[in-house]
Amino acid sequence: MGVLSELIKGLRVTGGTMLRTITGDELVTTEYPKEMRAKPQRFHGRHVLNRYPDGMEKCIGCELCAGACPAQCIYVRGEDNDPENPKSPGERFGYVYEINMLRCIFCGLCVEACPTEAITMTHLFEFSTTNREDAIYTKETLLMDRRGSVPHMFPDDELADLDELDSADGWLRATAPSGVAAYEGVKMWQGTPGPGDWSPEPSQEERDRPTSDRDADG
Amino acid sequence: MSWPEFWIVVLRVLATFALLLLVTLINVWAERKILADMQSRLGPMRAGPWGILQTLADGLKLFFKEAVTPRRVEIGMYLLAPFLAVVPAFLIFMVVPWGKPFTIGEYEVALQGADLNIGLLFILAMSSLAVYSVVLAGWSSGSKYPLLGGVRATAQAISYEAAMGLAMVAVVMFSATQGEGGTLSLSELVERQAGTWGDVIPALEPALQFVPRWNVFPQIVAFIIFFIAIVAETNRAPFDLVEAEQEIVGFHTEYSGMRFAMFFLAEYVNIFSMSAIAATLFLGGWNGPTFEGSVPAIVSGILPTIWFLAKTYFLVFLFIWVRASLPRLRYDQLMQLGWKRLIPGALAWLVLSTAVISFRQFGPPWSM
């Protein structure tokens, strides 16, 4: 009775799953716009152009991001800074900065290419537009404001989660220079958008402890 | 027929019709919910609490959709097919008793569309008619894939209706020994399943006094064959070759709007009706404890309907459970299961069941 036992096996799988889903143990979906899953820290979302704490733009208009982009969706034009009223600390600044979100594949190579960590990625992911032109994000949209928040495309939208902008960017945390022992105990410059203060870099010893102990310490 | 009797009949039919529409609304939603649970999903959540009004929303949407008519259809058959699907689906349920008959004054009201004395034959006839809609819809669409679906439906219906009929014959023959003479009336078949097996077999009374006198216990093989056959009759997974979304989309590919909704409605009405028939034939219909005397009369009057719905929904749940679990059969497997397993199995069971019945009635053949 091979067929029959296979049949019962199949029914047991679905029946068991049903009971576990009803109790909530195995439910994997959420009611999306109402509640959202926590995104992973290194989530590749919408780009943002960062500023230094003094309000200077980080972008120096070097076009390395545009060169690194495999989808060729970034268009940058640099311009010399006005010495009296510079926009960035260097000689030049990004005069035009456009990303075509219809072409972008969210690979993050622009972030890696950037020498000043001017471009990073946020957790924003809801880009839908009713117009193809709206999918081309200009510097106006991409550059964060002086408070340190990313301008949201649709701040009035009921789906917009403005708190999301304040969460620290995962990519920068992952690639911060704090792997070097010299930085131990030093409070690093917060390279991501959003207010708040980070704790000093932990020591190598602290870092090597298993995660479970670290969480227990709070 | 006097006027009150006439109105009672009208109300009976309307009530049955309304019940069928209501349970269909719930069935579509319940199927989506149960499938979602079996796949670790939430399912519809938006329309009403837990999405219970989802079917209503879908129905309204389909109602306002344009009914596209492709250019190469055979227009008469094409327009007729959806009605051919819906009408038999509703008629099948009309002969199923869904509650205990009660009396108002001098009139007796049976909770049943019509108490036909040839109820089972009527069911077989109507379920055969329902196949026409599929075949005609597939053929008249003037398109290859619906035609394939229609052709498949023909073969499938012929194969599985035979097994279904044979399983029914076994039950009817057994049921004939439980009362005076044989009957094809469903209300009569239900009444013959009242009580427990302890009443029938006094020798085993203590053991069987809580086992209801349902046909499923002596006729378990017929029940299994019947259930498989009705799953195939209603073109449900794993026998949904007629639709087979992934390969041929199905006989209703060229239908849209309300015409499609009618096929959809017919499918779900059929699931419920067929489950109701299986519950009536094998699970004792509306029979069940009514606690008469110890609870208000209204409660003991409604309880039989609740028992009937509970048994039917158990079978509907089985339909959905099977759909969530089993992959679709290949065409040759379908034919093999039908002709090499179910029909010989049903025949063998019929012979065995007949032999036992006649042995009990007439004694061993050499004694005559």
> What's the CATH number where A192 sits?
3.30.70.3270
Give the residue from A6, A12, A14 with the most B CB atoms within 10 Å of its CB, the best one to mutate.
Answer: A14
* ipTM value for the complex: 0.77
Cβ separation B40–A15 shorter than 8 A = no
Residues from chain A that touch B322, judged by Cβ atoms under 8 A, are: 11
Say yes or no to pLDDT of B217 above 60.
yes
Which residue range forms the structural domain that includes residue A55? Answer: 47-151+160-213
B183 pLDDT above the threshold of 80: yes
pLDDT at site B279: 92
Of residues B37, B325, B326, nearest to A22 (C-beta):
B37
Q: Which residues of B touch A28 (CB under 8 A)?
A: 40-41
Q: Which positions in chain B touch A21 (Cβ < 8 Å)?
A: 36-38, 40-41
Q: Give B354-366 pLDDT, tens digit per residue.
A: 999 888 888 887 7
Does the residue A52 lie in any domain?
yes
CA distance B36 to chain A (A): 8
Q: What is the mean pLDDT of chain A?
A: 76
Q: Is A83 inside any structural domain?
A: yes
Q: How far apart are CA A188 and CA A179, in angstroms?
A: 12
Q: Let me know: does B102 contact B158? Beta carbons within 8 Å.
A: no
Question: What pLDDT shows up at residue A191?
Answer: 46
CA distance B41 to chain A (A): 5
CB-CB contact of B176 with B183 (8 Å): yes
Integer angstrom CA distances of residue B121 from A41, B30, B124, B231, B272 = 66, 30, 5, 19, 18
Number of structural domains, chain A?
A: 1
Write out chain B residues lying below 8 Å of A30, CB-based: 42
Are the beta carbons of A78 and A92 closer than 8 angstroms?
Answer: yes
Residue at A140 is within a domain: yes
Q: Which chain A residues contact residue B317 at CB under 8 A?
A: none
Close Cβ partners of B59 (under 8 Å, ≥ 6 residues apart): B25, B261
A29, part of any domain: no
Q: Tell whether the model's pLDDT for residue A171 goes beyond 60.
A: no
Q: What is the dihedral of CA B330, B335, B337, B342, to 10 degrees?
A: 150
With 90 as the cut, is the pLDDT of residue B350 above it? Answer: yes
> Closest chain B residue to A12 measured between Cα atoms?
B325
Spatial neighbors of B160 by CB under 8 A, at least 6 apart, are B228, B229, B232, B233, B239, B338, B342
Q: What is the band of B87 on the pLDDT scale with cuts at 50, 70, 90?
A: very high
Domain positions in chain B: 70-367
Residues 6 or more apart in contact with residue A170 via CB below 8 angstroms: A40, A41, A42, A43
* 8 Å CB contact between A139 and A97: yes
Residue A143 in this model has a pLDDT that exceeds 70 = yes
CA distance B56 to B51: 10
Which of A173-177, B40-44, B234-238, B274-278 shows the lowest per-residue confidence on average (mean pLDDT)? A173-177
Average pLDDT over residues A182-200: 53
Q: Assess if residue A31 is contained within a domain.
A: no
Give the one of B39, B42, B321 whose C-beta lies nearest to A15's C-beta: B321
B58 vs chain A: nearest CA distance in angstroms?
19
Task: Report, in this order, helix, strand and coil percent for chain B, each rounded to 5.
Answer: 70, 5, 30
CA distances from B258 to B79, B82, B138, B336 (A): 11, 9, 17, 36
Taking residues A110-114, report their average pLDDT.
90
Q: Give residue A212's pLDDT.
A: 63
pLDDT at B344 over 60: yes
In a domain, A74, yes or no: yes
Q: What is the pTM of this model?
A: 0.78
Q: How many CA atoms lie within 13 A of A38 on its CB side?
A: 4
Per-residue pLDDT tens over the stretch B305-342: 899 999 999 999 999 999 999 888 888 888 988 899 99
In this complex, do A18 and B326 lie within 8 Å of one another by their Cβ atoms? no
Q: Which band of pLDDT confidence, cut at 50, 70 and 90, is reported for residue B222?
A: very high
* B201: three-class secondary structure by DSSP: coil
Contact yes or no for B161/B231 (Cβ under 8 A): no
Report if residue A117 sits inside a domain. yes
Residues of B with CB under 8 A from a CB of A: 34, 36-42, 45, 321-322, 324-326
